[in-house]
A and B are shown apart, each in its own frame.
Chain A
Amino acid sequence: MSAVALTVNGKAVTGDVDPRTLLVQYLREHLRLTGTHVGCDTSQCGACVVHVDGKAVKACTVFVWQLEGANVTTIEGLAEPSGPLHPMQEAFREHHGLQCGYCTPGMIMTAVDMVNRKGNELDDPTIRHELEGNLCRCTGYHNIVKAIAAGAKAMGKGQVQPTT
């Protein structure tokens, strides 16, 4: 067993886990935060993207014991607990950027990280390139790209522009 101690969505958590426990398993099974999803076994699909110390990380590709003292934010922690949704979340709803919803948490977390690194004015080629690590089987990506562009702008201004 390995001891773990980290912060998840602002709360300090500790535990004793099988050393093979991946971060995504720890979040889903030990903390019951099931918003982070598993869609593959090759770290290609991106459904498991979370933020670790402010950076997008695939939670299926890191052991939880590696994250001693780290700050993890999941989809559940993106918005304030009783506050409004994060502008990127609103953008996905506004621009119909999801169908079954399974890839969506990973898409949103990747999108927020994209804005943090590339700024609020994201063009299509940039968004599509940055989304190479996230797969969607429902939408064909078209509206996801639109949602991210709108969400990026909104993150700069504090509101989401409606669709025309």
Chain B
Amino acid sequence: MSATGIGAAVRRKEDQRFITGKGHYTDDVNRPGQCCAYFLRSPHAHARIKAVDCATAAKMPGVLAVLTGAELAGDKIGNLICGWMITSKDGTQMKMAPHPALAHGKANHVGDAVAVIVAETLAQAKDAAEKVSVDYEPLPAVTDPGKAQTEGAPQIHEIAARNTIYQWHLGDQKAAEAAFKAAHHVTRLDFINNRLAPNAIEPRAAIGEYDAGTDGLTLWNTTQNPHVARLVISAFVGIAPEHKLRVIAPDVGGGFGSKIFIYPEEVVCLWAARRIGRPVKWVSDRSEAFLTDAHGRDHVTHAEMAFDADSKVTGLRVKTIANLGAYMSTFSSSVPTYLYGTLLSGQYDIPAIYCEVDAVYTNTVPVDAYRGAGRPEATFVVERLIEVGAREMGMDPADLRKKNFIKTFPHQTPVIMNYDAGDYHASLKKALEIADYSGFGKRKRESARHDKLRGLGISTYIEACGIAPSQAVGSLGCGVGLWESAEVRVNPTGSVEVLTGCHQHGQGHETTFAQVVAERLGIPIDNVSIVHGDTDKVQFGMGTYGSRSGAVGISAIVKALDKIEIKAKKVAAHLM
């Protein structure tokens, strides 16, 4: 290990700007001639938009434009999309409803953007927003995913009967049925995995800028994946061809998944900037973030676990209703399917698994991947069944786990995943030692003597990160590959730049990626720059989420370093 290479306890390079207040977050960027956008949002969960009267607002001081879904449609701006096609059991494709960047005709959740006011200052835009008059016809709304498919529930999108987006399944229904028929004991649970709001501490922001000279658009955005944003905005929303759209993600203050998706606001900022001829900036406030940043989870689940007379798990059946909200967000379809169902084996040897997932629309904020994205949901199901099952059968939950852990590897689960290696007994044994599991009873009684309750919980899990090779996800409906790209440049004076398609928003890539390069090339990390976040600088990339940047991003860097080594040897041979 070199002084600053892999494994060295270096201090982070990026910290210098963060501890001195010299970071460049999107709201720190100010473009010459910039004006401010403010979105007027529906206060109704479900309402027809009969008319939007902007006349008064448009005349207010400082106002440059008041725009609605009508103008957006008139300018033929395309809709936002979900990029992962999921097919239902009956072979039909998922029902992806139109998602315009400004609601047109109908508002489908509280917070749905109905108009945008652009003015010289934010205060002027907000003042003018109060004068926009929207004639809403409130409609009955449905917010509970468990009720979205019932007869008579309000129909949100024409394309989705009974608000059902898809009915997906995974596993072997017949094998699971047989296991349950022959079961000695069955544990049944109904539960909810409640909706979460991600709330990265930096609110979302976007600046759209149009250069009339080059007919080029630039977007500064709090995105975890600038190239993906560029791709979606050019290919689907159609605001500009890809080679005329530059996306810059400067310093980003946390994402956790919520900044992966392509949102209406960045589309509107680009469109408005070109229409008005001035850079347009929008920054979310926190209340707005609760109403617009993609939420996480929101499952209603019925699950059953079958055990034989020896307390071995013989089968698992899961039926989940997944709430995707008012519109399908960019990766929403994949989260309660391939990122969920495939983890239902957990660490256990379960011969038969059958999982059904119905995704539904409701009049709520769209739901998409958030910190764990499907895997926490799966872990919750499996671990709760084991815990409750243990109590029902009068067994210690740790013992029930030990009895059912996978013992031989590689292990093919009934839900696509193949585990290559593991030693779950060893991890649990260590955890129980450290927690002094055997001493718990004594501690519990001692606490009770002081009128305090004491509990001990165990959870074991499989985490699938890095996501998957492109071929695998492509075969499952994903519209984009999940590769990563790196270019390593050695400058004439010996310093090195690494252009990576990854993006950091807290992960520390500027330091860790540099350590890999420093180790391999035998140079100090101070001589290595990691360049990311700008589609004009970096060739291509898929961004950072799902713990992929180490697995895929660094692998790409290592492959580029292999090429550098070959080239360097040629140069060295010549010089020597």
Contacts and interface: CB of A to CB of B under 8 A. Distances in A.
Interface string B199-230: 11111000000000000000000000000000
Contacts of B30: 32
Interface string B11-22: 110111111111
Contact of A41 (B251, B287, B505, B508): B287
A105 to B, nearest CB: 5
Given A41-B287, A85-B19, A100 B252 contact: yes
Contacts of B286: 39-42, 45
B348 interface: no
B254 A100 contact: yes
Contact of B25 (A37, A42, A85, A94): A37
Interface string A19-41: 01000000010001111111111
Given A42-B286, A93-B12, A137 B21 contact: no
A36 B14 CA distance: 17
Given A89-B20, A94-B11, A138 B201 contact: yes
A63 interface: no
Interface residues of A, number: 41
Contacts of A35: 20-23
A41 B254 CA distance: 18
Of the listed residues A40, A136, A137, the one surrounded by the most CB atoms of chain B closer than 10 A to its CB is: A137
A39 B123 contact: no
Interface in A90-148: 90, 92-94, 96, 98-105, 108, 135-138
Nearest to B11: A93
B20 A39 contact: no
Nearest to A139: B506
B285 interface: yes
Q: Is the interface of B mostly helix, strand, loop or mixed?
A: loop
B447 interface: no
A75 B21 contact: yes
Given A42-B286, A101-B18, A102-B254, A37 B123 contact: no
A37 B19 contact: no
Given A18-B123, A35-B21, A85-B20, A99 B507 contact: yes
A138 B19 CA distance: 15
Interface string B414-431: 000000000000000000
B251 A137 contact: no
B84 interface: no
Contacts of A79: 20
Nearest to A92: B19
Contacts of B283: 38
Of the listed residues B28, B200, B201, the one surrounded by the most CB atoms of chain A closer than 10 A to its CB is: B201
25 contacts: A18-B123, A32-B30, A34-B23, A34-B25, A34-B27, A39-B286, A40-B285, A40-B286, A42-B286, A47-B201, A75-B21, A76-B20, A85-B19, A93-B12, A94-B11, A100-B251, A101-B23, A101-B251, A102-B23, A103-B201, A105-B19, A105-B21, A137-B200, A137-B254, A138-B506
Interface of B: 9, 11-12, 14-23, 25, 27-28, 30, 121, 123, 199-203, 251-254, 256, 283, 285-287, 505-508
CB-CB nearest 8 A-B residue pairs: A35-B21, A101-B18, A102-B253, A100-B506, A99-B506, A75-B21, A34-B28, A40-B286
Given A85-B20, A93-B15, A102-B253, 6 more contacts: A35-B21, A39-B201, A92-B19, A100-B505, A103-B253, A104-B19
